[in-house]
Homo-oligomer: A and B are copies of this chain.
Amino acid sequence: MGEMVQNKQILLKEYISTGYPKESDMVTQVSKMSLNVPHGSHGIVVKNLYLSIDPFIRYRMSKSDRGYIDSYTPGQPIEVYGVAKVLDSGTPKFKKDDLVWGFTGMEEYSFITDADSLFKIEHTDVPLSYYTGLLGMPGMTAYAGFYEVAAPKKGEFVFVSSAFGAIGQLVGQFAKLLGCYVVGSAGSKEKVDLLKNKFGFDEAFNYKEEEDLTAALKRYFPDGIDVCFENVGGKMLDAVLVNMRPHGRIAACGMISQYNLEKPEGIHNLLDVITKRLRFEGFVVFDYYHLYPKFLELVLPYIKEGKIKYMEDTAEGLESAPAAVLGLFSGRNVGKQVVVVARE
């Protein structure tokens, strides 16, 4: 069995139905684990370095058979994106000491059977933690949704809901780099200021201070919206529909306002989809991972030239992960929420 270690893990206690997750929905345990890949397995054993806290975690904490991604299994470590170091490998794709990013567990060490789903990290002249965000799944999501799904053109009017999230920040910056007019919504004055002053959005507003979201969007888009990168759902989506321009596109990435509800809110303005010939298209980043090299080619130079800004909100230690999950839904984090398990 080779070397055995103590492995601290955070498990889902049981399925949650409605409402925000609570710390008590997650439980910490310490188990024993071998650092060697079992004989005959094509998996890898990794040491987790950085874990990514993303909205889909809440989605997977509920039991559902309708999703694009499996629900978690209670009693098992919570699956998240992360950056990890290979300790032992049963596949020629990776060797000891390689750095990888992809799905791993909310734990110190993971045995990953489906190693093919992981990406090898080739560029280490940027912070490794970026591969949980800007250079990882959220970055690829922004890229796929904006360039591939929304098919934007220079000069178009772009709205990003939940713009301060890891994905939204990047969509807005892509849109500015393309020469679009970009407005984002966020949930605090601090975030609104950062969107405008740090991330270069033309405008931003605090949706919590708007009584009438339709009127708010009308104020920022008197001529309407060509492209909406939709992260929120619910009332915001209804307001977006009314403000869309003919032939507009809504790239539907997430509906964070809806995941905690028992029954999603009703959307009333879908007739606009017809009258304005809108395209409302959902997408999932998994379908676009083959574009990852193309994405890196675009983004790495921008990062090095300082043309793309990025902010992380770092929580130290695996034991801080449950609070970080809660913080994501209360909007407490300012920047991409990362949990540092180890710095190598």
Query: Which residue numbers of A lie inside 8 Å of B, CB to CB?
Result: 66-69, 233, 237, 242, 246, 252-255, 258, 263-284, 287
A237 partner residues in chain B, CB cutoff 8 A = 270
Which of chain B's residues have a CB closer than 8 A to the CB of A258?
A: 271
How distant is A67 from chain B, measured CB to nearest CB, in Å? 5
> Which of A264, A265, A270, A272 counts the most chain B CB atoms within 10 A?
A270
**Across the A-B interface, the 5 shortest Cβ-Cβ residue pairs:** A266-B266, A274-B282, A273-B282, A68-B275, A280-B280
B275→A270 contact, CB < 8 A: no
Contacts of A69 in B (CB 8 A): 275
Contact of A267 among B68, B254, B270, B276 (CB under 8 A): B270
How close is A243's CB to chain B, nearest CB, in angstroms? 10
What DSSP secondary structure best describes chain A's contact surface?
loop
Q: Please pick, from B263, B277, B279, B282, the residue contacting A287 in the complex, using a CB distance under 8 A.
A: B277
User: Assuming A278-B282, A279-B281, A281-B279, is B287 touching A271 (CB within 8 A)?
Assistant: no
| Chain B residue at minimum C-beta to C-beta distance from A230 | B274
Cα A274 to Cα B69 with chains together (Å)? 11
Most buried by B among A67, A266, A269: A266
B273 near A66 with CB under 8 A, answer no
List chain B residues, Cβ under 8 A from A281: 273, 277-281
- Contact (A271, B264) CB under 8 Å given A66-B242, A242-B66: yes
**Nearest CB in chain B to that of A271: its residue:** B255
8 contacts between A and B (CB under 8 A): A252-B273, A263-B268, A273-B281, A274-B284, A277-B282, A278-B282, A279-B281, A280-B280
**Chain B residues with Cβ under 8 A from A255's Cβ?**
270-271, 274
How far, in Å, is A126 (CB) from chain B's closest CB? 29
- Chain B residues in 8 Å Cβ range of A278: 281-282
Contact yes or no, A276 B68, CB < 8 A: yes
Q: Chain B residues with Cβ under 8 A from A267's Cβ?
A: 266-268, 270
- In the bound complex, residues from chain B placing their C-beta under 8 Å from that of A284 are 274-275, 277
Evaluate contact between A233 and B279: CB separation under 8 angstroms: no
A213 to chain B, nearest CB (A): 16
The answer for the CA separation of A275 and B284 in the assembled complex, in Å, is 7
Q: Which residues of B contact A253 (CB under 8 A)?
A: 274
Q: What's the Cα separation between A279 and B269 when bound, in Å?
A: 17
**Given contacts A66-B242, A242-B66, are A277 and B268 in contact (CB under 8 A)?**
no
Interchain CB contact (< 8 A) of A273 among B265, B271, B280 = B280
